[in-house]
Amino acid sequence: MAAIPVSEQPRRRRRGLRRRLDISFESLIRAALVVAGCWLLVKLWPVLLVLLAALMIVGTAGPMVEWLESRGFSRAWGIAIVYGGGIIVALLVLTVTVPSLLQQAAAFIEREPATRQRLAAALSRSHATAPLADWLRNLKYDSLSDGSSLFQISAHLFEAAAYALSTMFLALYLTIDRDRMRGLLFAVVPRPHHVRLSRILINLEVIVGAYIRGQILTCTLLAGFTFALLLFFHVPGALALAILAGVADVLPFVGPVLAIAPATIAALSQGIGTAGLVAVLMLLYEEFESRVLIPRIYGRALRLPSAVVVFALLAGATLMGVIGALLALPVAAAALMLIEELRVELPGEATVPGPDVLDRDSKASEEYERRAAGIPAVEAAAIAVEIAADHQKAEQAEHQDGDSAPRPGDVKT
C-alpha cells in the first residue's frame, strides 16, 4: 500500500473532521424538541405538580369507590360518598383547629411582652446567653405589621388555596371520567403492550394506596402522642394542636417545625420549663419517627429497604426541597416496580425471566388480542385491566402457596 504524501495528510484530516462534525437536520430538530420540552417542563412545573397530586388522590379514592360499587352502590353514589366524606372530614378538621389556634395566637400576642421579659431575665443570668437576652429585649415587630408583607402572605395563601381547589376538582373529574381518560391513554399505546400497561397502572394504584396508608398511620401516631403529651401538662387547646401536628407531619423536614413550634408556644402558658420539656419530648419523638417508624412503615408498605427509604427522602429533599421529599418514596417504589414489570435486566443481575413468567405474559397477551379484537380503546382498556388483575391474583396465590409449602430442611413439630 502506497504511503500518503505529507502534503495530503492535513487535507484528509480536515475532511475526516468535517465528516465527524456533520450533523443531520433530523438531529437538530430532535435537539430543539428536547430543549423545548425541558423549557415547557420548567414553565408548567406547578401544573404538573397539581396533576401529580390529583392522580395520587384518584389512586387513593379509586379503591374506595370500587369497594362501594362491590357493595351495591352505583359509581356515581360511590364517588359522591368518598369525595363528600373527604370534604366533610377536612371541614371538621378546620373547624376544630382554626378557631382554637386563632384564640391561642391572640392570647400569646397579649402575653408576649411579659413572656419575652421573663425569658430575657432568665437568659441574662448567664454570660453565655446575655447577648441573646439583649436581642430579645430590643426585638421589634414593625416589619411583620407592614402592609406589603401582609399582602404577600395573603397572596401566597390565596395561591395555595387555588392550587388545592384545582387539585381536588381535577381529581374529581378524573375519577368521574375514569373510563374515557383510560381509553385515551390506551389509544396512544400499541395494543401488544396494553396488558403490561394495565399491570403497571394497577401496581401504581397499589403503591399510592400504600403510601397514603403509611402517611395516615404516621400522622395519627404523632397526633396521638402530641395530644397525650399536652393533655398531661394541662396545655390549653391540646386537641387542636394535636390535629395540627398530625396534618403538618405530612410535610417532610418542615413538618416537625410546624408541629413542635405551636405546641411549645402554647405550653408557655404553663411556664418556660414546661414549654422546654414539651419541645424536648416532641423532638425526641420526631427523631424516633424519622429513624425507626418511617423506614419500617414505608419499607413494608412500599416494599423498599429501610436504607432506600432514607436515601430517597434525602435525595428528593436535595433535588426538589419539601415537594421532592414528599414524592420521593412513591417515585422510588414506582421505579422499582417498572424495572420488574418491564422485565429490565439490571447490569449486576445475571438472571432473566423464567419460562413460566414469559409463558404467562404470552397467554395474557393472546387472551387480550382474542377478546379485544375490533373494539374501541375504551372497552379494550377495561378488558386489559380485567385480564391483568386476574393474572396478578393468580400470581399472588402462587406466591402464597410457595411460601406456605414445606421447604428442604424444615423440621416438623
Long-range pairs for 153-160: beta carbons < 8 A, 24 or more residues apart: none
pLDDT band at 141 (very low <50, low <70, confident <90, very high): low
**pLDDT of 5 strictly over 70:** no
Range of weakest confidence among 65-69, 272-276, 300-304, 367-371: 300-304
Mean pLDDT over 12-41 rounds to 68
Range of weakest confidence among 132-141, 226-235, 242-251, 261-270: 132-141
**pLDDT of 230 strictly over 60:** yes
* 42-86 pLDDT per residue, tens: 788 788 888 888 888 888 888 888 889 888 899 899 999 999 998
pLDDT band at 405 (very low <50, low <70, confident <90, very high): very low
pLDDT band at 285 (very low <50, low <70, confident <90, very high): very high
* Cell 416537625 sits on residue: 256
CA distance 353 to 349: 11
**pLDDT of 139 strictly over 90:** no
- CA distances in angstroms from 142 to 139, 147, 261, listed in the order given: 10, 10, 22
**pLDDT of 401 strictly over 80:** no
Supply 268's cell numbers: 408557655
Supply the pLDDT for residue 353.
57
**pLDDT of 115 strictly over 90:** no
Supply the pLDDT for residue 296.
84
* 355-399 pLDDT per residue, tens: 666 677 777 888 888 888 888 888 888 888 888 887 777 766 666
Supply the pLDDT for residue 211.
87
pTM beyond 0.85: no
Supply the pLDDT for residue 407.
42
**pLDDT of 222 strictly over 80:** yes
Supply the pLDDT for residue 15.
53
* 165-211 pLDDT per residue, tens: 888 898 999 888 888 888 888 888 888 888 888 888 888 888 888 88
Supply the pLDDT for residue 23.
61
* 319-343 pLDDT per residue, tens: 777 778 888 888 888 888 888 777 6
Supply 210's cell numbers: 400504600
Supply the pLDDT for residue 54.
87
For the chain, percent of residues with pLDDT exceeding 70: 82
Classify 411 as helix, strand or coil.
coil
Maximum Cα–Cα distance across the chain:
100
Are the C-beta atoms of 253 and 325 separated by less than 8 Å?
Answer: yes
- CA distances in angstroms from 331 to 117, 167, 212, 254, 304, listed in the order given: 49, 19, 13, 20, 11
pLDDT band at 221 (very low <50, low <70, confident <90, very high): very high
CA distance 33 to 27: 10
Supply the pLDDT for residue 112.
72
What is the rounded average pLDDT for all residues in the chain? 79
For the chain, percent of residues with pLDDT exceeding 90: 9
Supply 67's cell numbers: 369497594
CA distance 2 to 15: 20
pLDDT band at 278 (very low <50, low <70, confident <90, very high): very high
Distance of CA 170 to the CA centre of its chain: 17
CA distance 317 to 326: 8
250 backbone dihedrals φ, ψ, rounded to 5°: -65, -35
Supply the pLDDT for residue 229.
93
Supply the pLDDT for residue 280.
94
- CA distances in angstroms from 394 to 192, 200, 213, 401, listed in the order given: 21, 16, 25, 11
pLDDT band at 149 (very low <50, low <70, confident <90, very high): low
pLDDT band at 140 (very low <50, low <70, confident <90, very high): low
Rg (C-alpha) for the chain, rounded Å, is: 29
The residue with greater pLDDT, 43 or 20, is 43
**pLDDT of 108 strictly over 80:** no
**pLDDT of 413 strictly over 60:** no
Supply 227's cell numbers: 395530644
